[in-house]
Structure 1
Amino acid sequence: MREPRAIPTQTRTDHSTARSPRAFETTLAEPAPDVFEATPEDLADTDVAPTLKRRGRFWRNLALWTGGTLVSLGLGLAADRLIRDLFAAYDWLGWFGLGVLGVFIAALSVLTIRELIGLARLRTMDRLRDKAASALIADDLPAAQAIVADLDGLYAHRADLARARTGLKSDAASILDGAELILTAERTLMAPLDARARALTASSARRVALVTAVAPRALIDIAFVVFESFRLARNLADLYGARPGFFGFIRLMGAIVAHLAVTGGLVLTDGVVEQLIGHGVAAKLSARLGEGVLNGLMTVRVGIAAIKLVRPLPFAARTSPVVSDFVADLGKVAATK
């Protein structure tokens, strides 16, 4: 019996080479580039979409600039009208008002200059910290020497750091390694400042815990926590040499809130308090005293964030403070209470 076979009904007229099945293609597709390991030059050739800039910031700045210009023009016209009215009433009153206006403008100019200097000091801290981190990674000796020179100029007026600055100068002359020079600067200059910063943070946390424990109203607790957090951030900024003005301090508090949002807020339950302070002490804590300990730990978080933001050098040779470092002080407050 003949085997069945297929007989084409039409003659094949296309003599082109038949395409090989896709499953047996020999040319393999190149793997997609890993954007986490690629360099910036490699990323320019990939199909990864670039990060879009926030366009709302331009309109916000434009609105603030135009609004401020209108307010300034309105104040100028109001002052001009006031001086004209004073001159129309009495000449001596007009001259007196004109002199007061001149003193006001001079004082406002001085305050503006001080605010700009305070903002510049905060930017200097950020710039020094970023440069120090880069010098540590790259082991760049010239960059490290420039950073040490900037630190010496930053603390030149500080009598409490005179011995530390002298010791750093003598040690820096014999150090030929960039990373080691940054570490030596941190151990020499930052050690006394870090000790005082920890003391300030612990003192603020103790005050918050005590006031919360004895305050009769929750509104008083909130007001004192906010006040103490602001004062702690201001004291830490002055300690490390930032000394921001009003607007610089507002910028610093915004950076602290952003830092806390990124690192995670402090949310502690009663079980966590028992683990940190101890089962015996936690069992004796009243509800108000437990709230005081929690508010104290929240103040500690604010202090740690402020230290990391106003410190001119990153934590490399020294250990960064953590919340558990201050639990013993709060435990003493709970035990004495």
Structure 2
Amino acid sequence: MSRQPRAFRFDDPSLADGSVVVTEEPFDAIEAAEGAAVPVAERRRAPWLGILLSALTGLIVLALGLAVEKLIVDLYAVAPWLGWVALGLAAVAALAFLAFIGREVRGIWREQTIERLREAAVDALAVKDHKGAKAIVSELLNLYGGRASAVRGSARLMNAMEEIIDADDRLAMAERELLAPLDAQAKRAIAGAAKQVSLVTAVSPRAIVDVAFVIFAAVRLLRTLARIYGGRPGLFGFLRLAKAAFNHLAVTGGMAVGDSLLQQVLGLGLAARISAKLGEGVLNGLMTARFGLAALSVCRPLPFIREEAPKIGDVAGELIGRAEASAA
């Protein structure tokens, strides 16, 4: 049974005879909580754009429904069997549409789950929330425990769940056992995409081919990274992830941002000593690698705690070495 709070004087006899135990406050957690930033919700405005798009979508759906109904009636008037065929096709289309909507909802839900885990991990690390860290680890086990690459790590993590009480150590162990193999896969995928973009750009005869392949490689890379970390984005989920990745990247300009960036990455004067086409290929490969690193941070369910965050040299070091060898 909980007791009501009471006040004591320092000269109270209860303190002297030991019947009242004074417990010091957990200053480490209090100091961490005082240093944590408290988010302030922005003032919400009326979502007029969303209302407009929803209304227009409803009108389009109604118009399509009336058009399909009229088509079925007209076909039935011509021949009854044509009407039944049209009705069956409409039912198949409706079923496929519902399946598409269900896949999109599942994909967005999984993305939101990963985002929520990452935000919860940041909050738990900031205030040293042990219970919150334990709940995050449990959700990570549910998310990755069934994978073949995480079976041993999941077993070690579950055995040590009750022995670790520090929030940082608990999340760091989950990062090492569950996410380290996924990080390795993600870095290989980014390096492969950067290499492909660099090679295609160096040998392609047209600029439009370069742009098309860069976009194709970025789309495929983002989907690959999302699947590696447990996401299954559909169309709208992919657009949502792409927006988050570009916001994280925060790079102004296009894929070809000029020779100055190439000189900063490869060294002063190096771009002038290699062929323009090779320099363009290396630049596009590096930009693809930078986009991949931003997408990795967006798709990863935990921030980098003890593991070292990958850098551009970890995924595009071969491109820089190739350019330096060509300039030598």
Matches for 1:117-266 after TM superposition, within 5 Å: 117-261=106-250
Task: Say whether the 8 Å CA contact 1:140–1:179 is kept in structure 2.
Answer: no
CA shift, 1:168, in A, is 1.4
State which of 272, 275, 295 in structure 2 corresponds to 1:286.
Answer: 275
Cα–Cα, structure 1 residues 279 and 65, in superposed 2: closer, same or farther, change >3 Å?
A: closer
Alpha-carbon distance in 1 for matches of 2:287, 2:37: 40
Show structure 2 runs of 5+ residues with no match: 1-34
Task: Say whether the 8 Å CA contact 1:308–1:314 is kept in structure 2.
Answer: yes
Alpha-carbon distance in 1 for matches of 2:170, 2:85: 60
Moved over 4 A (4+): 37-41, 263-272, 278-284
Task: Tell me the TM-score normalized by structure 1.
Answer: 0.79
Aligned to 2:93: 104
CA shift, 1:268, in A, is 6.5
Q: Secondary structure at the match of 1:172?
A: coil
Alpha-carbon distance in 1 for matches of 2:210, 2:244: 24
Alpha-carbon distance in 1 for matches of 2:188, 2:55: 45
Aligned to 2:29: none
Aligned to 1:92: 81
Task: Say whether the 8 Å CA contact 2:36–2:127 is kept in structure 1.
Answer: no
Show structure 1 runs of 5+ residues with no match: 1-36, 44-49
Alpha-carbon distance in 1 for matches of 2:136, 2:42: 32
Cα–Cα, structure 1 residues 182 and 334, in superposed 2: closer, same or farther, change >3 Å?
A: same
Aligned length: 292
Task: Say whether the 8 Å CA contact 1:206–1:333 is kept in structure 2.
Answer: no
Alpha-carbon distance in 1 for matches of 2:94, 2:188: 41
Cα–Cα, structure 1 residues 69 and 283, in superposed 2: closer, same or farther, change >3 Å?
A: closer
Cα–Cα, structure 1 residues 269 and 73, in superposed 2: closer, same or farther, change >3 Å?
A: closer
Alpha-carbon distance in 2 for matches of 1:143, 1:218: 51
Alpha-carbon distance in 2 for matches of 1:286, 1:125: 43
State which of 72, 76, 87 in structure 2 corresponds to 1:83.
Answer: 72
Name the aligned partner's letter for residue 183 of structure 1.
Answer: A
Pick the structure with greater CA Rg: 1
Cα–Cα, structure 1 residues 272 and 89, in superposed 2: closer, same or farther, change >3 Å?
A: closer
Q: Secondary structure at the match of 2:160?
A: helix
Task: Say whether the 8 Å CA contact 1:277–1:328 is kept in structure 2.
Answer: no
Cα–Cα, structure 1 residues 54 and 299, in superposed 2: closer, same or farther, change >3 Å?
A: farther
Give RMSD over aligned pairs.
2.7
Alpha-carbon distance in 1 for matches of 2:91, 2:85: 10
Alpha-carbon distance in 1 for matches of 2:160, 2:226: 27
Cα–Cα, structure 1 residues 39 and 259, in superposed 2: closer, same or farther, change >3 Å?
A: closer
Aligned to 1:324: 313
Task: Tell me the TM-score normalized by structure 2.
Answer: 0.81
CA shift, 1:270, in A, is 4.3
1:216-262, CA deviations, whole angstroms, 9 ceiling, x for partnerless residues?
Answer: 1111111111110111011000000011111100111111122222x
Name the aligned partner's letter for residue 137 of structure 2.
Answer: V
Cα–Cα, structure 1 residues 93 and 168, in superposed 2: closer, same or farther, change >3 Å?
A: same
Q: Percent identity?
A: 43
